[in-house]
Amino acid sequence: MKKLIEVALPLEAINREASREKSIRHGHPSTLHLWWARRPLATARAVLFASLVDDPGEYLPEAEARKEREKLFRLLERLVNWDNVKDPEKAEGEREVIGEARYEIARSLAHTLGEAPPTSPQDREGIQALLEKAPPVLDPFAGGGTIPLEAQRLGLKAHAGDLNPVAVLINKALIEIPPRFAGLSPVNPDYRAKAQAGDRFPRAKGLAQDVRHYGAWMREEARRRIGHLYPDLEGKRVIAWLWARTVACPNPACRAEAPLVRSFWLSKKEKKEAFVVPEVREGRVFFRVEREGKPPVEGTVDRRGGRCLVCGAQIPLEHVRKEGKAGRLGARLMAIVTEGDKGRGYHAPTPEHEEIAGKVIGTTWKPIGEVPRRLTGGTCNPYGLDEWYKLFTPRQLVALTTFTDLIAEARERVYRDALAAGLPDDGIPLAEGGRGARAYAEAVGVYLALALDHLTNRHSTIATWDATRDNVRSTFARQALPMTWDYAEANPFGEATGSWEGMVEWVALALEALPAHPEGQARQVNALDSVNGVPTPPLISTDPPYYDNISYAALSDFFYVWLRKALGETYPALFRTLLTPKAEELVADPYRHGTKEVAKRHFEEGMRQVFQNLRAKAHPDYPLSLYYAFKQQETEDGEGEEGGEASRVASTGWETFLQGLVDAGFQVVATWPMRTELANRPVAKEANALASSIVLVCRPRPEKAPTATRQDFLRALRRELPQALRQLTQGSIPPVDLAQSAIGPGMAVYSRFGAVLEPDGRAIPVREALALINQVLDEFLAEEEAELDAPTRFAIAWYDQYGYSEGPYGDAETLAKAKNISVAAVEEGGILRAKGGKVRLLPPEEYPAGWDPAQDRRLSAWEVAHHLIKALKEQGEAAATSLLARTPEALAEGARALAYRLYGLAERKGRLADAQDFNLLAGSYGHLSVEARKARRAVQGELFGG
């Protein structure tokens, strides 16, 4: 029986909530511990619900089925809203949405099992009895735990498998530990002294209170031991000390200590600006703080190298690397940040504060292991920061080691207090399923260790100061460990970002938001073997690794080395190795495997085996759902230059992933582009990075699936793909995601055949199929262009050749005649300037303010699109909506189609800034058009008294 996910979804509502969720911080489970490329909970919740609920078209006439789908859509729209599910005990409405979702799942289960359905959402016993018979949900690549957690929230048994011990620990903390201690009151003596009859601590709220209590004890004990290393300044609590790395000037006549500073800005907030001014005195650089004007120099180092402030000599990065490897990089205190009644205070460094930090003696224990030599996104290894302990100052090592040691002491205190509170002394450890005093103490220790990881993420020399937010960035501001020049050393005893108190609160709030029922299981297991540990055939939903995008094992060693010290006794099997396992990790890392080809084979064969095992062991009544986010377009050499024509080819990652899926005998039955990333994340600010994952919904391909010829496949693509593409573009899938999103419906055509054959009998592989899908996508965009007005078609052709640069008037006249229009007419339309024998299209910023489309008699889709881009960039969505509401709908739709067409041209030509503009318009269009329609109806209502 088809499930809802195979037929229809309220995609816009799901994507809206998925995007919003990335900005929710305190109290969200994703903040329990950092994990890279984590999927939003809203997306996983929607995918799992729709994978379990029958499509109404399977048992109702189509007219009734549509009404029933709309009802399910309305439920889904409420279900994906985090505010409706974060605390089911808090409000009746929140209980209702979870209860209704479980009711609908139970109804479908009853139909599948041939049992009586529950009578209503209030029939909790009937619903629970059916949910206990539901297939368990398995995620063999569980990572940050999104999918298992949301399975648990929907009332399903969740199984999480991962090879990475850090990921396994996160999943244990999300789905395995909380159910064991759900409903327990806190054991700490402060609570027991004031406990009252009738106190309730639903889910893991009692456990969270104990994490806070013992975390506070650790803070005060740590302050007693090492508080003298973190002095106040003039009676004010220090938030952070800002340091600049230094290197000896390579000029033999100078050899001064040269500070390497990326930016001298301390705060860019309006009316609170502050910056460092470097001064050279007697051959040495000193620093002072100013608050008016701007820094005399932006910085002293960039990607090309540095500059000595004393003599002006250039400092090649190779010189910095050489000095770093020799252990000769230094550091100078550049500024001190304090917390005051009126916000942040910025101060010049003092000799006393620099001396205190400089005299800290290192610890006897330090985290060992090599920092990755190669990482996508950058690594600090070549600069001498090649061992984990070298990423920390001596003071940071002392602080982190102190807090790590205190976790063990806190466990002993929890154990004694748990016994006093009446928990049994059964001696069974947490790792063996314990529920008594010992296991509870170890559980509190786990969450305190997660707080330690939060602290570690803010207390390294990779962490920098954010002058736009006035706080300390995390070490993993992106999925890499890049070299940083000026860095921030936070105060763990403060109250701002980077404090121990704040880190504990992050963890406690996230713990309180966990469902804590039913019991889940997280295992360290190879994905190939993960199915074998599940007692009954599971429903499988997973987010597999992305070829060579992220080296999870290499990155997670940063946390692992601290977790191993803190939790080695709690989970000895999980932390038995010095570093995380890497040989079996399914990533195509050429640095690990020797060559790209060997790495590709490792990934390809591993994924093929995993998919084959999943096909053999998955529950036959439920589809498999796979998340994938991999940019499809790449150039042959991996580079793109301004004006260069990039060869559009299918990426190796997509090709390998999909080939393994098809070879294992799966066919794609539905595809859904899920918007899962914030547009303001660091990588998206600088590139047209993917904002969506594609959810591929798969079923086993029939054993006797027909074969097809190349022409059969192309005809089917041309028949079916355009309709799917119209739905994608009308739903405002961003152009950056369109080529990737087209893969889904294209592969749905390809994968339903047993094989697609050339005339000579050779089977067409996935790589060639992807090229044909791209071909049909180009045909679709070209057909949409043909429907546009003549000035716009002229401008497209001109832009393709010249962009917004000048070109010869003669060329423009020749092109205009071919488009059955004149250059003068295009110029009168306000989109072009012709002067001195040259012609130039106007970029968005040159379009006039105060434009009213209702008064423009020479409107074109090109003009509308550029005014909308200008409004979005300069004034925001409200201004763009106002323009769209006054634009004829046919031209508004033309502007949408144009944005997709121009994005493709701009990206191929390497015009990345232009591509971002077109991506912005197309990605915003769906929301703008909805608001514009509301505005039009409001105006019509006023005119006609409606």
Per residue in 723-735, pLDDT (tens digit) is 888 877 776 677 7
Q: Which whole number is the average pLDDT over 155-180?
A: 97
At 589 the pLDDT is 66
Better-scored residue on pLDDT, 150 or 725: 150
| CA torsion through residues 130, 134, 137, 138, sign | positive
* pLDDT greater than 60 at residue 682: no
Question: What H or E segment, with its residue span, contains residue 286?
Answer: strand 284-290
| CA torsion through residues 381, 384, 387, 392, sign | negative
Q: Which whole number is the average pLDDT over 771-792?
A: 90
At 732 the pLDDT is 62
* pLDDT greater than 60 at residue 521: yes
User: DSSP per residue over 396-431, as a string?
Assistant: HHHHHHHHHHHHHHHHHHHHHHHHHTT-------GG
Task: Tell me which residue of 862, 851, 854 sits closest to 825, measured CA to CA.
Answer: 862
Question: 213: which DSSP letter?
Answer: H
Q: What tokens appear for 604 in the block?
A: 């390809």
Q: Which whole number is the average pLDDT over 423-440?
A: 97
Question: What H or E segment, with its residue span, contains residue 211?
Answer: helix 205-226
833 beta partners: 840
* pLDDT greater than 60 at residue 906: yes
At 650 the pLDDT is 45
**Residue 252 burial (CB < 10 Å; 0-12/13-18/19+)?**
exposed
286 beta partners: 279
Confidence of residue 198 (pLDDT cuts 50, 70, 90): confident
Question: Which three-class secondary structure string do you get for 34-59?
Answer: CCCCCCCHHHHHHHHHHHHCECHHHC
Give dist(CA 107, CA 469) in Å, integer.
Answer: 49
Q: What is the mean pLDDT of the chain?
A: 89
At 591 the pLDDT is 62
Q: What tokens appear for 433 in the block?
A: 């399923």
At 377 the pLDDT is 80
At 687 the pLDDT is 37
At 184 the pLDDT is 97
290 beta partners: 275
Q: Summarize pLDDT for 210-220 with one digit per residue, the tens.
A: 999 999 999 99
Better-scored residue on pLDDT, 713 or 375: 713
At 95 the pLDDT is 60
* pLDDT greater than 60 at residue 194: yes
Give dist(CA 725, CA 732) in Å, integer.
Answer: 11
Q: Which whole number is the average pLDDT over 352-367?
A: 92
Q: What amino acid is encoded at 620 in this protein?
A: P
Q: Summarize pLDDT for 617-646 with one digit per residue, the tens.
A: 999 999 999 998 754 433 333 322 223 322
* pLDDT greater than 70 at residue 940: no
Q: Assign residue 198 a region (left: φ > 0; alpha: ψ between -120 and 50; beta: otherwise).
A: left
Scored b (16 or more CB within 10 A) or e, 908-932 reads: bbbbeebbbbbbbbbbbbbebbebb
User: Which residues touch 86 (CB under 8 Å, ≥6 apart)?
Assistant: 27, 28, 94, 513
Give dist(CA 54, CA 230) in Å, integer.
Answer: 60
Q: Which whole number is the average pLDDT over 545-554?
A: 73
* pLDDT greater than 70 at residue 692: no
Query: Do strands 755-757 and 707-709 pair parallel, antiparallel, or not at all (unpaired)?
Result: parallel
At 831 the pLDDT is 95
Q: Out of 222-226, 372-376, 477-481, 934-938, pick the least confident.
A: 934-938
Q: Quick count: other Cβ atoms within 10 Å of Cβ 760?
A: 5
Place of tokens 């899920």: 674
Q: Phi then psi for 330, rounded to 5 degrees? A: -110, -165
At 550 the pLDDT is 66
Confidence of residue 851 (pLDDT cuts 50, 70, 90): very high
User: Which residues touch 522 (CB under 8 Å, ≥6 apart)?
Assistant: 142, 145, 148, 159, 160, 161, 162, 168, 171, 172, 174, 175, 176
Better-scored residue on pLDDT, 191 or 730: 191
Q: Which pTM was predicted? A: 0.86
Give dist(CA 457, CA 454) in Å, integer.
Answer: 5
Query: Which segments of 765-831 are extended strands (E)?
Result: 807-808
* pLDDT greater than 90 at residue 811: yes
Q: Which whole number is the average pLDDT over 891-895?
A: 92
Q: Which whole number is the average pLDDT over 73-92?
A: 83
Q: What tokens appear for 770 in the block?
A: 């992807």
Question: 766: which DSSP letter?
Answer: H
Q: Out of 35-49, 213-227, 232-246, 637-651, pick the least confident.
A: 637-651
Q: Which whole number is the average pLDDT over 658-662?
A: 88
* pLDDT greater than 90 at residue 830: yes
In the three-class reduction of DSSP (H, G, I as helix; E, B as strand; rest coil), residue 928 is classed as helix
